[in-house]
């Protein structure tokens, strides 16, 4: 995976030791439940690589979760805990990255409010994912102020850390474009304050779920990071395959098989080639093919499982991660807000000084 070093916006952040510019990234995920392999391939795997190359801020976007789940909020605390355990067990490293909870840093709300003052409603209404989601998510009233303003909150998340880059998937590009437009508008009204963030497009393979549809929590077709080895096999074993392979001797087409789709993401190239040839010539059976897939998925899940046990045994550690992360994030956020208030000529506690 190769982060693209596209054109550069804004001043790089100097690292004290050697004066080489260290670029900064920020990204977040809504705590919508346990992470599955699709989330891993779509975001976490990249973050874990990127944290070695960038000064990284990763946060759990709990306020964002409220934009669609404001009625029943009973699961949110548990979802946050699960997400944090998933992140760290997979290899997101609190010593390398600043890992925090959005709502621990109130400056997100302050900047959201100020940005909302300069953001035309028409910019939000024309956001393609606004109408899409309103149509897709049924049974919930999404004609709320907060849902319309989702991309403004997201812009605040990004601009608050003066991020150079934002690792996101394709679906988030319209939001990021809005963050850039808002940054330009701030500059236009108040002078330069924050750089325009550039996307760092995550190569996202289309990961299929157990039933051949896109892997998604709402389809109940996921393999979760926190699944036990037994659960993983019990999910993969009965997976549908190419319907042409009725008998063991019938050749198949891997292109029509969701098991092979998972091989393409989790198995090394030579194994993929073996499975492909074995399937087409009926020299391998589906159960063997699935067993081999399971061993390669387990190369990721088994170490994560072990780490999870350690994390849960170490009382107080996860709370401490969030506390320290919030401290670091807050320091950055407060610096930005000072600049924003100054640029906007807002009072900053020094009105009569
Ligand atoms: N909107 C993102 C998603 O649904 C989550 C998110 C919130 C985010 N704030 C962000 C991503 C800031 C990147 C930067 O996946
Ligand atoms: Fe799918 Fe593998 Fe069976 Fe081919 S051998 S149909 S790729 S499970």
pLDDT digits (tens, 9 = 90+) for 110-155: 999 999 999 999 999 998 888 888 888 778 888 899 999 999 999 9
**pLDDT in the model for residue 141:** 83
Query: pLDDT tens digits for 235-290?
Result: 999 999 999 999 999 999 999 999 999 999 999 999 999 999 999 999 999 999 99
pLDDT tens digits along 218-246: 899 999 999 999 999 999 999 999 999 99
Q: Is pLDDT above 50 for 217?
A: yes
- The crossing angle, in degrees rounded to 10, of helices 150-159 and 107-118 is 120
The 10 Å Cβ neighbour count of residue 287 is 12
- Asked if 225 and 304 touch (Cβ cutoff 8 Å), the reply is yes
Are the C-beta atoms of 149 and 124 separated by less than 8 Å? yes
pLDDT at 25: 98
- Mutation probe of ligand 1 site: the residue of 172, 176, 197 with most atoms within 8 A of C-beta: 172
Residue 197 is classified by DSSP as P
Is residue 62 within 8 Å of residue 102, measured between CB atoms? yes
Ligand 1 cavity residues, CB under 6 Å: 26-30, 61, 64, 154, 157-158, 166, 168, 172
Indicate if the pLDDT at residue 15 is higher than 70: no
**Distance, CA of 342 to CA of 349 (rounded, Å):** 11
Q: What is the mean pLDDT of the segment spanning 310-326?
A: 95
Share of the chain above pLDDT 90, in %: 82
Q: Average pLDDT for residues 100-106, to the nearest whole number?
A: 98
Residue (of 267, 210, 216, 232) closest to 34 by Cα position: 216
pLDDT for 336 beyond 50: yes
pLDDT digits (tens, 9 = 90+) for 77-102: 999 999 999 999 999 999 999 999 99
* Separation between Cα atoms, residue 329 and residue 7, nearest integer Å: 26
- CB of 263 closer than 6 angstroms to any ligand 2 atom: no
Minimum CA distance residue for ligand 1 atom 2: 29
Determine whether the shortest distance from the Cβ of 200 to ligand 2 is under 6 A.
Answer: no
What per-residue confidence (pLDDT) applies to 310? Answer: 95
Taking CA atoms only, the protein residue closest to ligand 1 atom 9 is: 154
**How far apart are alpha carbons 269 and 252 in whole angstroms?**
19
Nearest CA to ligand 1 atom 13: 27
Return d(Cα 98, Cα 90) in angstroms, integer: 16
The CATH superfamily of 5-207+315-343 is HUPs (3.40.50.620)
The ligand that comes nearest to the alpha carbon of residue 56 is: 1
Measured distance CA(252)–CA(208) in Å, rounded: 18
| Number of other residues whose CB lies within 10 A of the CB of residue 147 | 19
**Looking at residue 170, what is its pLDDT?**
87
pLDDT of residue 4: 40
Q: Which ligand is nearest to the CA of 61?
A: 1
Say yes or no to pLDDT of 309 above 70. Answer: yes
Q: Is 286 in the pocket of ligand 2 (CB under 6 A)?
A: yes
Instruction: Report the SS3 class of residue 258.
Output: helix
| Gyration radius (Cα) of the chain, Å | 23
Q: Which residue from 155, 148, 152, 143 is spatially nearest to 126, judged by alpha carbons?
A: 148
Are 5-207+315-343 and 227-313 equal in CATH topology?
Answer: no
Tell me: pLDDT of 301 over 80. yes
Burial class (CB in 10 A: 0-12, 13-18, 19+), 105: buried
- CB-side neighbour CA atoms (13 Å) of 260: 20
For residue 26, name the pLDDT band (cuts at 50, 70, 90).
Answer: very high
20 pLDDT band (50/70/90 cuts)?
Answer: low
Indicate the domain borders of the chain.
5-207+315-343, 227-313
Atom of ligand 1 nearest to the CA of 154: 9
> Quick one: fold of 227-313?
Tyrosyl-Transfer RNA Synthetase (1.10.240)
Q: Which of 19, 57, 59 minimizes the C-alpha distance to 162?
A: 57
Q: Is the dihedral of CA 14, 160, 119, 167 positive or negative?
A: positive
Give the pLDDT of residue 240. 93
213 Cα: distance to centroid of ligand 2 (angstroms): 16
What percent of the chain shows pLDDT beyond 70? 94
The upper half-sphere exposure of residue 99, i.e. CA atoms within 13 Å in the direction of its Cβ, equals 25
């Amino acid at each position: 995976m190769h982060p693209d070093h596209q054109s550069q916006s804004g001043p790089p952040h100097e690292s004290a030791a050697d004066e080489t510019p260290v670029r900064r990234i920020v990204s977040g995920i809504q705590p919508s439940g346990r992470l599955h392999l699709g989330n891993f391939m779509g975001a976490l795997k990249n973050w874990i690589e990127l944290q070695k190359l960038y000064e990284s801020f990763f946060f759990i976007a709990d306020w964002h979760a409220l934009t669609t789940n404001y009625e029943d909020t009973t699961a949110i605390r548990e979802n946050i805990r699960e997400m944090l355990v998933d992140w760290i067990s997979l290899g997101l490293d609190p010593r390398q990255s600043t890992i925090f909870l959005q709502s621990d840093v109130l400056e997100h709300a302050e900047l959201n409010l100020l940005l909302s003052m300069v953001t035309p409603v028409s910019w939000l209404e024309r956001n393609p994912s606004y109408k899409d989601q309103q149509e897709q998510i049924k049974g919930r009233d999404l004609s709320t102020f907060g849902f319309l303003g989702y991309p403004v909150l997201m812009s605040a998340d990004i601009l608050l850390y003066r991020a150079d880059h934002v690792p996101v998937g394709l679906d988030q590009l319209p939001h990021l474009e809005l963050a850039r437009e808002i940054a330009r508008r701030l500059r236009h009204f108040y002078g330069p304050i924050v750089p325009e963030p550039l996307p760092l497009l995550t190569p996202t393979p289309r990961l299929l779920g157990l039933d051949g549809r896109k892997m998604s929590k709402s389809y109940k077709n996921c393999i979760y990071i926190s699944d036990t080895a037994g659960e993983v096999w019990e999910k993969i074993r009965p997976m549908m395959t190419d319907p042409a392979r009725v008998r063991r001797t019938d050749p198949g087409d891997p292109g029509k098989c969701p098991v092979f789709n998972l091989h393409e993401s989790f198995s090394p190239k030579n194994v993929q080639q073996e499975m492909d040839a074995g399937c087409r010539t009926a020299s391998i059976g589906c159960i063997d093919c699935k067993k081999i897939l399971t061993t390669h998925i387990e190369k990721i899940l088994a170490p994560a499982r072990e780490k999870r046990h350690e994390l849960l045994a170490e009382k107080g550690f996860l709370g401490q991660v969030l506390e320290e992360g919030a401290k670091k994030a807050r320091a950055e956020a407060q610096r930005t807000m000072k600049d924003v208030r100054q640029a906007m000529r807002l009072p900053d506690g020094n009105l009569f000084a």
